[in-house]
Amino acid sequence: MTSATYPTLPKSAPIASESIAPYADSTRARAVKLFRNGANQAVRIPKEFELPGNEALMHREGNRLILELVPDKPKKGSAAALLAALDEIAKLGPCNDDFPDIGDEGLLPLDDIDFGEN
């Protein structure tokens, strides 16, 4: 009886009993435990996945839950807040709407403005 030779895997190669998502290897995915916190389901975030700050946005894409960092808002009235507001306004783009013609009927005539230069 001849014995078949099988290729051997290096000892460092992981052997998985189930297939994993293709993104799992590149993102160093980890298995985590889900638990209950009152009426909410929770997960403890491992240190290497911690997000800075105090807030995050969560949304669902299929069977994935995605957490995204919410950047800190600049202090109201600061130069950084003004720049952030101007950036948001710039994202809106120019307003190409026509202004409505409201007409001048029934309005009193404007007085001439005297700047006292005469």
Does the pLDDT at position 22 exceed 70?
no
Q: Round to whole Å and give the CA distance between 88 and 90.
A: 5
Q: How does residue 5 score in pLDDT terms, banded at 50, 70 and 90? A: low
Q: State the pLDDT at residue 16.
A: 44
For position 54, which CATH number holds? 2.10.260
Segment 82-103 shows an average pLDDT of 90
* CB neighbours of residue 74 within 10 Å: 14
Considering the domain boundaries, does residue 97 fall inside one?
no
Using CA atoms, how far residue 55 sits from 37, 91, 103, in Å, is 18, 24, 51
Domain extent at residue 39: 31-91
- pLDDT for 105 equals 81
Residue 24 lies in a domain: no
Residue 49, domain member (yes or no)? yes
Answer whether residue 6 is part of any domain: no
Q: Is the pLDDT of residue 46 over 90?
A: no
Largest CA distance in the chain: 123
Is residue 40 one of the residues assigned to a domain?
yes
- For residue 2, tell me if it sits in a domain: no
Instruction: Specify if 113 maps to a domain.
Output: no
Examine the pLDDT at 89 and tell me if it is beyond 90: yes
In the chain the first and final C-alpha atoms are separated, in Å, by 123
61 in any annotated domain: yes
Structurally, the chain folds into a number of domains equal to: 1
More confident residue, 108 or 79: 79
